[in-house]
């Protein structure tokens, strides 16, 4: 498919190119911090601000000196405070005391990270997983019997899906639930060690009941994975008969959560313990389901719990904002190495420091705007405003695309922020090390990132193959050139593109042209479409091969699948950022955001220059010009606005709680500068040996 450069629709090599608009002088524009802050808060600003007010209170904040046991008990107590402050029931039905506000619930939940990531995740276990599973997988009977205690925290709960031997491959879990007609009961059983439920929040200590995912077996037929409500402990906290487990122990982070393991030995629960919205068994053991396809039924059940991935995406964005707020504030105050005027240089005035932090700031803005679109899609599906099967599939694909990028980026950003703050960044009082440790597991829970991106790629290929099941190579090439976005972009719910992709092998001759929105879109979109087209051609034979050979064929191209999915997700972020420019509060803010969006887009292109060069989309000269434009134009333009762009995140000192982000570094530096200036003015400053030698040499 690399022959696209020769398609008839490509412009001639000497075709006139539209002129790039001249950029205003950096000093003539300014960021309206307050207005931009309101834009970043998004549609559910009120819910976010409510949570921020809570976590500004000391009782909701992590105490770094606590040991694991004390941290766990403090986090449980904080969950009770959330209930008392009416902060966790937004997504539940109004008849049960909720407000049917799905988007606001996720927005509020994400902000808890500012208090303590352990608080955020433990509350997610209780209300986002355990209680939500009862609500979305159960029926009215379960809602009446089980939800009130889960909502009030009277019954702390466990979401028992993952097993030691099966994490991402949920369909293959080993735990079984076999129906016993004589007793009208389910027999929950763990047949081998690898089937122990593992890494479960609330399992080690606090959980009194669990939603257990197990293979439903009745009349000798396995109907696949379903969810069952299973009591775990008595009032004294002891395991009930047939149930056992152990503490996962000290972890790399999130130690305010009592993660543990569970196993079941022929544990009996009533037939009505099956959460039966998508599959039911009557007293005779007859299984029925409103969804005939076992595969579609399984993915529908898991799709109702997609909010975990939505919230992790948002929490990762917030963590990135927090880390950059600390690092950029410190970088604008800390001075290091003396310039010609005997005054030391502010760290953020060094180009390399700008390269370390400003592209990551651009990425954070892109993630933030993309997450708001993602949240709107989620709310539309779960509120019923747009709840078709296609809508749910699109939401699942969007979740699988964005969650990996944001959680990986958060790890990268917090680490770079830590290093950019030097030894200060390593101190616990400045939060970055602990924040990085707590975020580490975000990359592998609620779906391993690599596996999720593989799901995205398969979805893109499925859409592509449906359109071209019997098409020849010429038709595939025409699709890539003329129908940009139909398979890979439009299904996401973020944006519908109108223009066609054209070849960039001969036309990307001016960085002034490439910096325009249309040109960036073409380069980024063309890459996604071409990668999908090439993969489709390579994998086309899979449907005709035996299962093992087809799997081997996919395995040979697995890395390409992941890269295509990643490129697709990056395009979604870029599109969301570009759309957000239209909502900027004023011309000055819009200009700065445009530079920041350009930095994001160019960084994506620069990171993948090998692909663009190999496929003839950019010449070597233009590739070099992109790097020069980033270093020579965009970074200097953005440097004066870096602090304002982080101030727009709206994080107060009570949210940041990092000593080096309070102005103390500026006080230290000003004290040092004043001392040195006084020494020089008074003539008391000692003569530098190098100056003495230079003077002696000059007199010779």
Residue 464 confidence (pLDDT): 78
Residue 539 confidence (pLDDT): 86
The per-residue pLDDT of the chain, averaged, comes to 88
Confidence of residue 465 (pLDDT cuts 50, 70, 90): confident
Ramachandran quadrant class, 191 (left: phi over 0; alpha: psi -120 to 50; beta: rest): alpha
Residue 543 confidence (pLDDT): 78
The CATH architecture annotation of domain 161-294 reads Beta Barrel (2.40)
Residue 8 confidence (pLDDT): 29
Contacts of 411 (CB under 8 A, 6+ apart): 436, 439, 440, 442, 443
Q: Following DSSP, what letter does each residue of 172-208 receive, concatenated?
A: G---EEEEETTTTEEEEE--SGGGSEEEETTTTTT-S
pLDDT of residue 546 exceeding 90: no
pLDDT of residue 120 exceeding 80: yes
Residue 398 confidence (pLDDT): 94
Q: What is the DSSP letter of 540?
A: G
Q: pTM above the 0.85 mark?
A: yes
- Which carries the bigger pLDDT value, residue 221 or residue 470? 221
pLDDT of residue 31 exceeding 70: yes
Residue 341 confidence (pLDDT): 65
Distances (CA, A) of 157 to 38, 203, 310, 501: 36, 8, 21, 51
Tell me which residue of 452, 308, 303, 309 sits closest to 381, measured CA to CA: 303
Confidence of residue 23 (pLDDT cuts 50, 70, 90): low
Contacts of 43 (CB under 8 A, 6+ apart): 103, 372, 375, 376
Encode pLDDT of 584-606 as tens digits: 999 999 999 999 999 999 999 99
Confidence of residue 621 (pLDDT cuts 50, 70, 90): confident
Phi, psi of 429 (to 5 degrees): -65, -15
pLDDT of residue 239 exceeding 90: yes
Please report which residue ranges of 582-619 form alpha helices under DSSP H: 587-607, 609-614
HEC readout, 519-545: HHHHHHHHHHHHHHHHHHHHHHHHHHC
Kindly provide the b/e burial profile for residues 383-392, where b requires at least 16 CB atoms within 10 angstroms of the residue's own CB. eeebeeeeeb
Residue 24 confidence (pLDDT): 59
Residue 488 confidence (pLDDT): 36
Residue 173 confidence (pLDDT): 96
Contact 31, 645 (CB under 8 A): yes
pLDDT of residue 500 exceeding 80: no
446 catalytic? Reply is yes
Beta strands in 516-576 (DSSP E): none
Tell me which residue of 493, 568, 507, 570 sits closest to 533, measured CA to CA: 568
- Dist CA 695 CA 693 (whole Å): 5
What average pLDDT does the segment 507-529 reach?
Answer: 74
- Dist CA 119 CA 127 (whole Å): 12
Encode pLDDT of 36-62 as tens digits: 999 999 999 999 999 999 999 999 999
Residue 169 confidence (pLDDT): 87
Q: What is the DSSP letter of 335?
A: E
Please report which residue ranges of 483-516 form alpha helices under DSSP H: 511-514
Residue 16 confidence (pLDDT): 30
Distances (CA, A) of 606 to 157, 453, 609, 622: 47, 22, 5, 11
Residue 212, both tokens: 């257990």
The DSSP element (H or E) to which 103 belongs, if any, is: helix 102-111
Contact 534, 38 (CB under 8 A): no
Beta strands in 538-677 (DSSP E): none
Residue 509 confidence (pLDDT): 43
Contact 585, 34 (CB under 8 A): no
Contacts of 179 (CB under 8 A, 6+ apart): 185, 186, 187, 216, 217, 218, 219, 271, 281, 285
Indicate the domain borders of the chain: 2-23+306-647, 38-152, 161-294, 663-699
Out of 132-141, 201-210, 294-303, 508-517, which region has the weakest mean confidence (pLDDT)?
508-517
In whole angstroms, how large is the CA radius of gyration of the chain? 28
Between CA 444 and CA 451, with CA 450 as vertex, the angle to 5 degrees is 90
Out of 15-24, 304-313, 344-353, 640-649, which region has the weakest mean confidence (pLDDT)?
15-24
What average pLDDT does the segment 232-237 reach?
Answer: 96
Encode pLDDT of 268-295 as tens digits: 999 999 999 999 999 999 999 999 999 8
Residue 503 confidence (pLDDT): 34
Encode pLDDT of 58-112 as tens digits: 999 999 999 999 999 999 999 999 999 999 999 999 888 899 999 999 999 999 9
Encode pLDDT of 679-691 as tens digits: 888 988 888 887 7
Encode pLDDT of 304-357 as tens digits: 779 999 999 999 999 999 999 999 999 999 988 876 667 889 999 999 999 999
The CATH superfamily holding the domain 38-152 is: Acyl-CoA dehydrogenase/oxidase, N-terminal domain (1.10.540.10)
Choosing from 111, 333, 372, 446, the catalytic residue is 446
- Which carries the bigger pLDDT value, residue 20 or residue 465? 465
Phi, psi of 188 (to 5 degrees): -90, 125
Residue 1 confidence (pLDDT): 28
CATH code reported for the domain at 2-23+306-647: 1.20.140.10
């Amino acid at each position: 498919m690399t022959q696209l450069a020769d398609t008839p629709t490509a412009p001639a090599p000497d075709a006139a190119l539209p002129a790039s608009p001249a950029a205003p002088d950096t000093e003539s524009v300014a960021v309206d911090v307050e207005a931009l802050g309101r834009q970043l808060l998004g549609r559910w600003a009120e819910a976010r601000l409510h949570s921020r007010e809570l976590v500004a209170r000391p009782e909701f904040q992590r105490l770094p000196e606590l040991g694991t046991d004390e941290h766990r008990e403090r986090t449980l107590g904080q969950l009770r405070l959330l209930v008392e402050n009416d902060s966790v029931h937004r997504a539940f039905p109004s008849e049960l005391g909720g407000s049917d506000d799905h988007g606001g619930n996720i927005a509020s939940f994400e902000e808890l990270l500012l208090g303590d990531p352990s608080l955020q995740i433990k509350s997610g276990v209780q209300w986002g997983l355990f209680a939500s599973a009862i609500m979305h997988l159960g029926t009215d009977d379960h809602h009446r019997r089980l939800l009130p205690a889960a909502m009030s925290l009277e019954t702390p709960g466990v979401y028992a899906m993952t097993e030691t031997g099966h994490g991402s491959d949920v369909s293959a879990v080993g735990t079984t639930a076999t129906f016993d007609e004589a007793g009208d009961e389910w027999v929950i059983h763990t047949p081998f060690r690898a089937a122990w439920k593992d890494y479960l929040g609330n399992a080690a200590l606090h959980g009194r009941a669990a939603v257990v995912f197990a293979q439903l077996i009745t009349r000798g037929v396995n109907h696949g994975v379903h969810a069952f409500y299973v009591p775990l402990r008595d009032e004294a906290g002891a395991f009930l008969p047939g149930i056992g487990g152990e503490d996962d122990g000290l972890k790399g982070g999130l130690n305010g959560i009592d993660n543990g393991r569970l196993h079941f030995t022929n544990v009996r629960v009533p037939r009505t313990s099956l959460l039966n919205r998508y599959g039911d068994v009557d007293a005779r053991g007859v299984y029925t389901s409103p969804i005939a396809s076992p595969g579609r039924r399984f993915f529908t059940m898991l799709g109702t719990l997609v909010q975990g991935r939505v919230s992790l995406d948002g929490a990762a964005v917030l963590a990135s904002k927090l880390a950059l707020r600390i690092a950029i504030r410190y970088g604008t105050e800390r001075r290091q190495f003396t310039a010609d005027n005997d005054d030391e240089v502010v760290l953020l005035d060094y180009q390399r420091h700008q390269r370390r932090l400003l592209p990551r700031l651009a990425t954070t803005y892109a993630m933030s705007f993309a997450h708001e679109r993602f949240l709107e899609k989620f709310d539309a599906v779960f509120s019923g405003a747009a709840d078709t099967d296609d809508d749910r599939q699109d939401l699942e694909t969007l979740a699988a695309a964005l969650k990996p990028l944001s959680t990986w980026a958060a790890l990268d950003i917090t680490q770079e922020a830590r290093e950019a703050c030097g030894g200060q960044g390593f101190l616990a009082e400045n939060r970055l090390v602990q924040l990085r440790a707590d975020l580490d597991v975000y990359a592998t829970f609620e779906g391993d990132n690599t596996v999720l991106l593989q799901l995205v790629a398969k979805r893109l290929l499925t859409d592509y193959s449906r359109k071209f099941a019997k098409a020849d190579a010429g038709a595939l090439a025409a699709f890539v050139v003329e129908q940009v976005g139909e398979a890979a972009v439009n299904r996401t719910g973020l944006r519908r593109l109108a223009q066609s992709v054209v070849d960039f092998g001969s036309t990307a001759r001016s960085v002034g042209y490439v910096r325009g929105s249309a040109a960036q879109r073409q380069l980024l979109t063309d890459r996604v479409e071409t990668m999908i087209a090439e993969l489709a051609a390579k994998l086309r034979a899979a449907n005709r091969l035996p299962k093992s050979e087809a799997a081997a064929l996919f395995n040979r191209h697995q890395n390409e699948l992941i890269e295509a999915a990643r490129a697709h997700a990056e395009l979604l972020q870029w599109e969301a950022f570009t759309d957000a420019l239209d909502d900027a509060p004023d011309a000055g803010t819009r200009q700065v955001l445009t530079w920041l969006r350009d930095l994001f887009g160019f960084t994506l292109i620069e990171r993948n220059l090998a692909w663009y060069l190999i496929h003839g989309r950019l010449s070597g000269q233009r590739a070099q010009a992109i790097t020069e434009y980033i270093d020579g134009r965009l970074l200097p333009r953005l440097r004066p606005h870096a602090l304002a762009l982080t101030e727009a995140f709206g994080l107060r000192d009570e949210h940041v709680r990092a000593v080096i982000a309070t102005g103390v570094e500026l006080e230290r530096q000003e004290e040092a500068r004043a001392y040195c200036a006084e020494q020089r003015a008074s003539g008391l400053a000692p003569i530098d040996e190098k100056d003495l030698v230079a003077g002696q040499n000059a007199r010779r």
